């Protein structure tokens, strides 16, 4: 049972930031990653479409005999986590809870900003999770849809990235937020640019490490943790695996030799 892999999925490349964190915290675990490159972006899709795609991926991972599924995509976590938990036989963890927990632990003044996709922002999943933990929190949200293609195109160091980020971050700068949740798996890749604009006094929070720690606690508690050997990473993409592999080499700390094509529907 412990040798079974952890399944991780995202709409594309961004979830590799979560895969890196899982790898650091759980180096002995086998990991299977699925990037839904045929259907990215999820952020502008309806809840129904995101749920349908997430369930198809969840079922595929379940067929690979995984012991845990990590929904690395914020949009899918915000919109489909309930359905995934209900319909799959394998335990499922999302990224919203860990991100909210971390933000509440870090904020000093209770003013928290959430950056996410349109789908994540509209679902209000972060405000709901934050207010449960900190009922007096002041929360503002900002959808940043153009960040995803910047990351998928590896344009994060271009001047365009900074120009777009300055525009999106203006309302945050005008607010009292001392903590900003990077509520999309792609955004940590833009951390340097965002930190430069917001300044050192603002905490940037992403769910990756907190989620990896939560996964570790879960595996230990259920006696599912693999404690020896080096875990294997297997990667699937639903379209253009060669392109995915080229870009994945930039984001992923580990080198991967193959990205398998697995069409979804
Ligand atoms: N991975 C998605 C998320 O974390 C963002 C990319 C998309 O829109 O598909 O919300």
The domain that holds 143 is classified in CATH as 3.40.50.1860
Q: What is the total count of domains within the chain?
A: 2
> Is the domain of 26 the same as that of 83?
yes
Percentage of the chain with pLDDT > 70? Answer: 100
pLDDT-derived band at 2 (thresholds 50, 70, 90) equals confident
> Is the domain of 37 the same as that of 60?
yes
pLDDT at 265 over 80: no
> Is the domain of 34 the same as that of 87?
yes
Residue 25 falls inside a structural domain: yes
Residue 1 falls inside a structural domain: no
Among residues 57, 73, 112, 211, the one annotated as catalytic is 73
pLDDT-derived band at 181 (thresholds 50, 70, 90) equals very high
Structure tokens at 240: 């253009």
pLDDT at 76 over 80: yes
pTM, 2 dp: 0.94
* Pocket-testing residue among 73, 76, 94, 207, ligand 1, by greatest number of atoms within 8 A of Cβ: 73
> Is the domain of 135 the same as that of 201?
yes
Q: Which residues form the domain of 23?
A: 6-94+209-261
Q: 144 catalytic, yes or no?
A: no
pLDDT at 252 over 90: no
> Is the domain of 244 the same as that of 163?
no
Average pLDDT, the chain: 95
């Amino acid at each position: 049972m412990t040798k079974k892999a952890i399944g991780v999925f995202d709409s594309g490349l961004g979830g590799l930031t979560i895969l890196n964190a899982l790898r650091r915290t759980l180096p002995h675990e086998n990991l299977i990653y699925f990037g839904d490159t045929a259907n990215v972006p999820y952020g502008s899709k309806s809840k129904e479409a995101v749920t349908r795609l997430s369930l198809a991926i969840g079922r595929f991972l379940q067929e690979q005999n995984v012991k845990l599924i990590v929904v690395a995509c914020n949009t899918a976590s915000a919109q489909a986590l309930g359905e995934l938990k209900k319909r799959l036989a394998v335990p499922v963890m999302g990224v919203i809870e860990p991100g909210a927990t971390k933000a509440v632990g870090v904020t000093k003044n209770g003013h928290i900003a959430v950056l996410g996709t349109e789908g994540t922002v509209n679902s209000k999943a972060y405000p709901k999770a934050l207010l449960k933990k900190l009922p007096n929190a002041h929360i503002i949200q900002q959808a940043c849809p153009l960040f995803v293609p910047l990351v998928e195109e590896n344009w994060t160091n271009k001047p365009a990235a900074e120009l777009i980020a300055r525009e999106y971050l203006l309302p945050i700068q005008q607010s009292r937020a001392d903590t900003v949740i990077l509520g999309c798996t792609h955004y940590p890749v833009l951390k340097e640019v965002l930190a430069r604009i917001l300044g050192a006094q603002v905490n940037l929070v992403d769910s990756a490490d907190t989620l990896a720690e939560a996964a570790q606690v879960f595996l230990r508690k259920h006696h599912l943790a693999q404690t020896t050997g080096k875990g294997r990473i297997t990667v699937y993409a639903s379209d253009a695996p060669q392109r995915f592999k080229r870009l994945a080499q930039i984001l992923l700390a580990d080198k991967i030799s193959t990205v398998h094509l697995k069409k979804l529907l």
